[in-house]
Amino acid sequence: MEISGYEKNYRNLAPGLKDFDFASSCARLGLRETKDGAEIEFLGRLYRLSREGVEAADGEASDPNFRSILVHYALSQGEGGPGEEFLALFQLPGVMRGRNQGDNRSLLNGPMYERFGREGHDGFREAAGRLGGEYLGPHPAGGHLWEFRVLPRISLRVIYVEPDEEFPLELNVLFDSHSPEILGFECLAFLQHCLSQALASA
């Protein structure tokens, strides 16, 4: 059976854990150290990291993009965080300056638009609760503000702006400003898409 490009990417990354110092990473990045490696809650599911790679604790199949992000996170040399300022991906300090974020309905947020365009904020509230999202109340510029501690040192916020007669549904994902010190741009983009997928599937 042919494996996907995403699975190949994960398999190329996983060997980086073979000689890894889990104790140091757990202390710095907020992972839970175990006898064989570490554990981490990620988007509503528990994962185990070992020198052999990453797997879901329930033993069921898991998204290779999720596993790849967890390898990148564990191998990160960053520390501290999360930050207190929240910005869109393309507005983050040191990340692709000068480029526009583009259509917010693109691949990154597509799964959320597909589901919550039908179910509205009530459906979003239910899904967010399943992933441990915290409702922060109305956003000053309009809409509903939610926060997700997706990784121990990285938080994301989602602004849910309900549609009306003039404007369609708007979903904006914001990263805490410390995020680029932990993960690179491509990983953060995948992280945004993974949150969108997880909310759409919750």
pLDDT tens digit sequence for 110-133:
888 889 888 889 999 999 999 999
Is pLDDT of 142 > 80?
A: yes
Decide: helix, strand or coil at residue 149: strand
| Banded model confidence at residue 97, pLDDT cuts 50, 70, 90 | low
- On the question of a cis peptide bond just before residue 138, with omega within 30 degrees of 0, the verdict is no
Distance, in Å, from the CA atom of 198 to the CA atom of 108, rounded to the nearest integer, reads 12
- Domain boundaries, position 28: 5-75
Confidence band, pLDDT 50/70/90 cuts, at residue 94: confident
Note whether 132 and 154 are within 8 A (CB).
no
Sign of the Cα pseudo-torsion (75, 76, 82, 86, in order): negative
pLDDT band at 109 (very low <50, low <70, confident <90, very high): confident
pLDDT at 154 over 90: yes
Q: Is residue 192 part of a domain?
A: yes
pLDDT for 98 beyond 60: no
Under the banding of pLDDT at 50, 70 and 90, the label for residue 105 is low
What CATH number did the domain enclosing 95 receive?
3.30.310
Does residue 40 share a domain with residue 100?
A: no
Same domain, 149 and 189: yes
176 & 90 share domain: yes
On whether both 193 and 120 belong to a single domain, the answer is: yes
Task: Return d(Cα 195, Cα 86) in angstroms, integer.
Answer: 16
What band does 95 get if pLDDT is binned at 50, 70 and 90? low
- Report the 10 Å Cβ neighbour count for 19: 7
Q: Report if pTM > 0.85.
A: yes
Distance CA 189, CA 46 (A): 22
